[in-house]
Structures are given as structure tokens and as C-alpha cells.
Amino acid sequence: MTEWFAETLHKDVAQSLRMDRVLFRERTGLQELVIFENARFGRVLALDGAVQTTEGDEFVYHEMMAHVPILAHGAVKRVLIVGGGDGGLLRRCLLHPGVETVTMVEIDRGVIDLCVKYLPGLSAGAFDDARAEVVIADGARFVAETDRRFDVILVDSTDPQGPGEVLFTAAFYADCKRCLTPGGILVTQNGVPFLQPDEVRHSAEHLGQSFAVVTFYMAVVPTYFGGIMTLGWATDEAQYSRLTATDLSPRFAAAGLQTRYYTPELHVGAFALPAFIKALCQGA
């Protein structure tokens, strides 16, 4: 009998993926984790009933979360990733030749180990890069206590439930602001606003308590059910979100990136928000 994975993230709608072969399923120290194969999306990682990443479409999310802030900033040397245990975001950050260190703080070592074993293509050796530093710790506590500073902070979190809930609070965003260098950029995972409007609404309010410029940009990830997903954008430098493709193209070329989703033109267009997302940003 065919087994299906039914995502339980939303109470009134759901998506299902056929589980052609289950590779791993058990509860780690903190989360219920399953890794399975699907004919359309390849290997799939799900935590606590929600799809986190797939081999088939991970490139959309990871390219947009990494390349947009790094290329917009233009002089990034130190990156902090909160979460991101699958290694896909770490890999994309390390593609930038100007990046000197990427520190990844992941609360669950089990996620890293399982992803290296069952989804090795996502990290593609990034954990062995000399510029990569992995810290097994609570991300919220790390940014509250560290004396280190970063040019870009990327919050590759789960949704605001369970261990990920604290990563959507005003206190956490204030701690991230403290850890940024002048002109630094914070990017956050903010869900699919058509089905999760409160993630944008509340994040805009909380980010606005610490940053002068708060907005969101978009990506379309097929397995993030419900349409457009948003990534939160917070900084004190207004010009970063106003760059043109003409500004970005030389940086993109100099980085030597080979991408499947990101382009300088798409980068610019991703900040053009639909009216309903603009309204959420304003608390409607």
C-alpha cells in the first residue's frame, strides 16, 4: 500500500507527497524528523509534520536567502546562519569568494548528521570548508550572548512553533541587530503570507522596533504550499533594497555564481510586493 506524507502545518488545508521510500523516521532530541524519497521532488526532509526542504526545489530558497543580501551589501566578509542544519544555505554563502567566515548555529546536531548522510547534495561538502564554523547551540541564546559581529545574519528557521518560536520575537531581532556590523543586513524566513499572514504582520512590527528599514522580498518554492513565500529584510541602509540590475550584474559576474533561480533582474523584482503583502507589512 502506498504511503503518503500529509503536511499538517495548516489546520484547514493540506498537501500530500507520496513516500516512495522512507529513508529515516524517528524523533531526534527535539523534533520529529522524517526523510523520504518522492519521484517528483527527490529526497524530502520534514520536521514536525512540515516539509523543510527537498532535493528538487531547495535551490530556490537557498539561492534567494543567500545571494540577495550578500550581493546587495557588496562587501560581506562574515555571515551568521541561525538554523540551516541541512547545509544548503551554508553552501550558497560559501560560493561567494569575498566571504571569509560563515558561522552556522544549529540547535540539533542530529539534523546536520542526518542531512549529510541522506541529503549530501544539499551541503555538497560545505561542512568541510575551512571557512565554515558549526556551533551546536540555541540560536537565540547565541545572538544574545556573543561578542562577535557579522555583516549578514540569515535566520533559516522553522515556522514559529516549537524550537523556532523564539526566532520570531522582538527580543531576538534586537539581539540580531546588536550582532550586526554597521550597515549589516538581517534576513528571516517568513512563511507563505496567503496562509500565514501573521508571520509577516508580526515580524514587520517586531523588526521595526530595531531597524530603520524593514520590508520583505519574495520567492516561489513549489513545496512551500500556498503560493509566494516571503523573506524578511531588515537593515539601517535604505539603498540596499533599491539597487538596480545594472548595479547588481557586475557583482553577480564577479562572484562567478552559477544559479538556477537567482538573477540580478529577479533580485530587483523580488522586492515588488503584491498589495495584500504590503498591507500585512503595515499591520492590516
Rounded to 10°, the helix 245-255/58-73 angle is: 110
Q: Which of 98, 103, 122 is nearest to 44 (CA)?
A: 122
CA dihedral for 66, 85, 225, 208, sign (positive or negative) = negative
Q: Are 214 and 231 in contact (CB under 8 A)?
A: no
In contact, 24 and 35? CB cutoff 8 Å: yes
Q: Quick one: cell of 20?
A: 516512495
Concerning whether 156 is annotated as a catalytic residue, the answer is: yes
Annotated active-site residue in 57, 156, 159, 175: 156
CA angle 158, 189, 150 (to 5 degrees): 105
HSE value, Cβ hemisphere, 13 Å, CA-based, for 17: 30
Query: Do β-strands 16-19 and 3-6 pair in parallel, antiparallel, or remain unpaired?
Result: antiparallel
Q: Which three cell numbers stand for residue 125?
A: 561538502
* Angle CA 64–34–137, to nearest 5: 65
DSSP letter at 248 equals H
Pair 62, 46: CB distance under 8 Å: no
Residues belonging to the active site: 156
